[in-house]
Amino acid sequence: MKNRLLFPFAAVFSLTGAAHAHEPKIVMPGEGKPVAVPFHPTTLLLSEEENESGLSFYEFRVPPKTAAAPPHIHTQEDEFFYVVSGKVSFLDRETVVSGGPGTFVSLTRNNLHAFWNDTDEEAVLLLAASQGNFEKFFDEVAMAVQAEKPASAEDMGALIGRVASARGITIRMDAVPDEARALYFGE
């Protein structure tokens, strides 16, 4: 009797679990797709269109003494960071935490966050972004920069803020922590 009950279940499971809409993907070092963003060198490792869960995976290389992402709030996606090398400071709402290799940070939607590298060595991070078309934000920023060619940091900030706003991202330069002001504002 048990075999009769399990067999139909097993058949349904194998039929529904056998087909994959996306092929597996292996990305070797240097094989990712460079993304033209003005913040820091960025490489797309896996597109949201290449997996069922709609996750995007990136490698960020944040040069020494660099403001990486300004304080901002997402309404459509969550971000997950893993520090591979170097040290990065993260703003989580009003708290600043610095983390080195092995640090994992979940910065979920509707929460103010930022990150920067205030050390003398490059930091490498992996970023996963959940569904929300985050890739399109980077693409739109890159296209707008090419089209408008901002002449100053203020012009660049205004351009990024405009593109971000259209994607449900609010930039909050008023929330830059004191310890990061020199990186963001050159103070």
Query: CB-based burial of residue 9 (10 Å sphere; 0-12 exposed, 13-18 middle, 19+ buried)?
Result: exposed
Q: Considering the domain boundaries, does residue 76 fall inside one?
A: yes
Q: Which two tokens stand for residue 186?
A: 């050159």
Q: Give which of 70, 96, 93 is closest to 172, Cα–Cα.
A: 70
Q: Considering the domain boundaries, does residue 52 fall inside one?
A: yes
Domain span at 165: 37-185
Q: Considering the domain boundaries, does residue 27 fall inside one?
A: no
CA pseudo-torsion sign 160, 165, 170, 173:
positive
- Structure-model confidence comparison of residues 86 and 55, the more confident one: 86
> In the chain, how many domains are there?
1
Average pLDDT in the 38-51 region? 85
pLDDT at 35 over 90: no
* Cα 75 to Cα 133: distance, rounded to the nearest angstrom: 11
Q: Considering the domain boundaries, does residue 164 fall inside one?
A: yes
Q: Considering the domain boundaries, does residue 16 fall inside one?
A: no
Whole-number pLDDT of residue 177: 95
Q: Considering the domain boundaries, does residue 14 fall inside one?
A: no
CATH number for the domain harbouring residue 149 = 2.60.120.10
Q: Considering the domain boundaries, does residue 122 fall inside one?
A: yes
Q: What is the pLDDT of residues 81-128, one digit of tens each?
A: 999 999 999 999 999 999 999 999 999 999 999 999 999 999 999 999
Q: Considering the domain boundaries, does residue 91 fall inside one?
A: yes
